């Protein structure tokens, strides 16, 4: 069972099921939300159990095609979750997991929106211009 939480401990969770491997998102919203690219895993919504949530707040993700909201700790500012109501899964910021995770990065999303201040590494992983669009290398 995986566990994790925010920097200050005002949000703690456990995942009582499998985690998806990590996807790197380069979209404008994720870069603004995380301060750089987003590295996220995901679990089935019912597998995510909040053990401590006194600091958890939600904000709508304004440009989200999925009408998603983003969860964060209002006490320390840690970015934690991305939640699209129509999906069965919830995304979890991989950096908030307690290690070791056993996860690996499996692809890049929204590379068409990558920042101009960095280059995408030639890591051989699939690259998608949009979230679930065509892959390119």
Residues 2-40 pLDDT 10s:
999 999 999 999 999 999 999 999 999 999 999 999 999
- CA 8, 20, 51, 84 dihedral sign is positive
Per-residue pLDDT at 67: 81
| Digit-coded pLDDT (tens) for 47-72 | 999 999 999 999 998 776 668 899 99
Enter the pTM of the model: 0.91
* Complete domains list, the chain, with CATH: 2-136 (2.170.150.70)
- Closest listed residue to residue 4, CA positions, set 57, 58, 43: 43
As a residue count, the chain comes to: 137
Residues contacting residue 119 through CB under 8 Å, at least 6 positions apart = none
Per-residue pLDDT at 137: 38
- Closest listed residue to residue 114, CA positions, set 48, 31, 47: 31
* 131 band by pLDDT with thresholds 50, 70 and 90: low
Per-residue pLDDT at 121: 85
């Amino acid at each position: 069972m995986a566990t994790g939480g925010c920097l200050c401990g005002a949000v703690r969770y456990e995942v009582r099921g499998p985690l998806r491997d990590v996807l790197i998102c380069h979209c404008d919203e994720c870069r603004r939300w995380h301060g750089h690219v987003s590295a996220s895993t995901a679990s089935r919504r019912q597998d995510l159990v909040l053990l401590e949530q006194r600091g958890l707040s939600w904000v709508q993700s304004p440009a989200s095609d999925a009408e998603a909201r983003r969860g964060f700790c209002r006490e320390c500012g840690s970015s934690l979750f991305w939640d699209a109501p129509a999906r069965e899964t919830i995304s979890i910021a991989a950096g908030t997991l307690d290690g070791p995770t056993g996860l690996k990065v499996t692809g890049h999303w929204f590379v068409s929106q990558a920042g101009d201040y960095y280059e995408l590494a030639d890591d051989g992983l699939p690259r998608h211009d949009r979230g679930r669009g065509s892959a390119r290398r």
